[in-house]
Structure 1
Amino acid sequence: MGAPLVTVLVIGGTGAQGQPVVKELSADGRYKITVLTRSAQSEPAQELASLPNVTILEGETFDEQTLMKAFKGIDATFVNTNGFAIGEKAEVYWGIRIYEIAYGAGVKHFIWASLAYSSKLAHFNPDFHCGHLDGKGKVTDYLTSQPTDHMAWSVLLSAPYVDTLSQLLRPKPDPNDPSLMVFSAPLGNTAMPLIELGDLGKYAKWMFDHVKRSNGMTLKISTEHIRWADLAKDYTAVTGRKSIYRDVTLDEYFASGAFPDPELKVGHSVTHDDPTLQTYRENFSAFWRLWKSGLDTRDYKIMDEILPGRIRSVKEWMVKTGYTGEPGRVLKDYIDRERKKTGWPLLG
């Protein structure tokens, strides 16, 4: 008989980031995966349920009794909480609390899905306070103060998804020349990191496979840092369609319809009377300020070592996926919820 399968609980497994992680673990054959989700009947949950060694557990992520039951008999876990659903304050609380429950349940390896700690990188300049980045960043800071002997911990620190070039970041036809595709962002000439979701799943699996090395590690991943002007050139080279990059101000960005109501509070699953919740304008102004500042850096040498076959450029991703700039669906959860509440058409 072979070695018993490693039992893994994935929290956030039906989301854009969690799905490739579950798929990588399932394809390996050495892991038995449980995905905790609110609805076992959702399309992503049903797709994952069809994979080998994957079980869907229906329940509320942000409930202690549910979590205590879910972590019974679990060897390792990948945790990706949704700050767009619950807001920064609750994400900090639940990130820490989920760690504590996993620790008490005897889990051997805890992987936290994180993002750049925006305001900390800028020495807590309030102009850089981005809730959906900083909530995860604060939990990362908490983890780095924890022991690594009783339960190994690892942080997978991602970046904006390359895949959202088919959604939130996709090009749009110029109003005066529909044949010209325009990539718009308040980014200036700064290169920002983007990560391809398939490779994100592979990095997470590497952490599960190499616990001794990934224990206590914060691995910052990216496909490449790319300037938007180069993004437009790559798009033209791959598709043959004319395209340009148009640098815009933050006011122009929000006026362009990036969000139907920039004053709406981030946190679609909670009441909006919480004064700590940011508006989309506040959140995404800080988001773009971070990338424009150039403060976020990545070590591509270690990424090449860990994942030699990784996609190394956005252009390579475009070729591999047959990218055309046409609409797609990546960040389905929070966009669909906001669309239902505001009448906002799905971006993509």
Structure 2
Amino acid sequence: MTSPEQPPKIFIIGGTGAQGIPVITALVRDSKYRVRVLTRDPSSARAQHLLSLNPSNVELVTGTFTSESDLRSGFAGCMGAFINIDGFNCGEKTEVFWAMRAYELAVADGGIEFFVYGNLDYGYKLGGYDRQFRSGHYDGKGRVGEWILFQNQQNQKDGKDGKSPMKAALFTTGPYIEMAIASATPMTPTVEDDGIVTWRVPLGVNGAVPHVALDDCGYYVRWLFDNASRANGVDLAVAIEHVDYSELARAFTAVTGHAARFIDVDMEAYWASGPMSRVANFASASESDPADPAFMTIRENFTGFWNLYRASRRDNTGVLKRDYALLDEIHPGRIRSVEEWFRVENERGIALGKGSLWERVQPGKIRPTLKGNEDGKKGGGGGLIFKFHLSVGCSLII
């Protein structure tokens, strides 16, 4: 437990991911919380960046979430936990087991008061168990998320040795809007020969993606820990808006003055020449075994991913939905549209010397936003899978 002289400490898995960095930034910015971050490589640039945020409030510990001893050590002495497992590293089956085991160990530790699980929509179930919506990295997290909320309900009824039971909440995200202007993502744009920025993706003419702004993730997770009693049992599903890609292109042009367009392509064309076509038959998780019946290729996994968004709608109907009124209440200053995000990001990029949005999507200039894209991974088939490795929402991102 935390001593009266020190801020409460939160154990974090996924702290060096795209989502983890803004989450930790929000938690330690005013020294209200300390964090203990589990990482396989404390010397990495991302881990060292976390230390620089608030050196006295950020602790790095070497280990892996697939070790019970590392998990027990991580929970020890902490008040809270934020668990965002990288399913693109371990695969759906492994994530399901270790996410559940992490929750169980947090309860058993006895000191964890509030457990937040980095979640994704259980699209397969939301889509009526129609196999077209089967996406392993979504279903793995969504399946665990429902299990955690059920366990939490039971814990609140039963208590534990007369003590206050551990509270829990889900933090459900989706594709980061940053991925729409980054390399090596499912929606990487191109600047085509006619000079027009182009998104060629299989979204359909009516589909929409509830994109998430990474900076907002930090605000929401901080809100969860600041309001644990209200957040207990809540699935906080976030987004800026349901973005159809015609609007994405219109907004890009409105902000930059440069022409942009969305071209809907069928799934076959997407896998033949789209941004992930060269790795379509690689493992969707870098450490998964092709001999395992649970194995999924990138093509199999992301076909379900795109079908989920083809079946969602800009008016917040369809398979995937968000409670935007709740998000407005919780975060009055949140980004509410893709055009607003483009304006903020365009100004920020110029101020930081990264260039305007137009400059940043040019061939040779476009950069990754996801941790796996930077690291390079070993694929389940034994070869180098990519410096193209995908880590969507994992928290992913995460």
Shorter-chain TM-score range: over 0.9
Q: 1:136 to 1:165 in 2, by over 3 A?
A: same
> What's the counterpart of residue 328 of structure 1?
367
Count of equivalent residues: 346
Greater mean alpha carbon deviation, residues 46-55 or residues 264-273: 264-273
Q: 2:171 matched to which residue of 1?
A: 156
Which residue number in structure 2 is paired with residue 262 of structure 1? Answer: 280
Query: What is the TM-score when the length of structure 1 is the normalising length?
Result: 0.95
Aligned-pair Cα RMSD in Å: 1.9
CA distance in 2, matches of 1:34, 1:344: 29
Output the TM-score relative to the length of structure 2.
0.83
Mapping of 1:1-348 within 5 angstroms? 4-52=6-54, 53-106=57-110, 107-146=112-151, 147-148=155-156, 150-167=165-182, 168=185, 169-175=187-193, 177=194, 179-189=195-205, 190-259=207-276, 260-294=278-312, 295-322=319-346, 323-324=357-358, 325-326=360-361, 327-333=366-372, 336-338=375-377, 341-342=383-384, 344=386, 346=388
Question: Cα deviations across residues 294-325 of structure 1 (Å, max 9, x unaligned)?
Answer: 11010100000000011111111111111335
Q: Taking every aligned residue pair, what percent have the same amino acid on both sides?
A: 36
Which is further off, 261-270 or 153-162?
Answer: 261-270
In 1, distance between residues paired with 2:6 and 2:387? 47
- Distance in 1, matches of 2:377 and 2:265, equals 24
For residue 334 of structure 1, report the CA deviation from its aligned partner: 5.5
- Give the distance between the partners of 1:308 and 1:182, measured in 2 at CA: 32
**Partners of 1:22 and 1:303 in 2: how far apart?**
20
Q: Could you tell me which amino acid in structure 2 is paired with residue 186 of structure 1?
A: P
* Secondary structure in 1 matching 2:53: coil
How far apart are residue 344 of structure 1 and its match?
Answer: 4.8
User: What secondary structure is seen at the aligned counterpart in 2 of 1:206?
Assistant: helix
**Greater relative CO (CA pairs within 8 A, separation 6+):** 2
Confirm or deny: 8 A CA contact 1:115 1:158 kept in the other structure.
yes
Counterpart AA for 2:169: S
Structure 1 Cα separation of the partners of residues 134 and 304 of structure 2: 6
Q: Deviations over 1:224-265 (max 9, x none)?
A: 111100100100111111111100111111111422221112
Q: 1:334 to 1:94 in 2, by over 3 A?
A: farther
CA distances 1:6-61 after superposition (whole Å, capped 9, x unpaired): 11011000001111110100103110111100000111000001121111111122
Match of 2:396 in 1: none
SS in structure 2 opposite 1:244? Answer: strand
Please give the secondary structure, in 2, of the residue aligned with 1:14.
coil
Q: What are the ranges of 5 or more consecutive residues in structure 2 without an aligned counterpart? A: 157-163, 313-318, 347-356, 391-398
Alignment gaps of 5+ in structure 1: none
What secondary structure, in the 3-state scheme, does the structure 2 residue paired with 1:111 have? strand
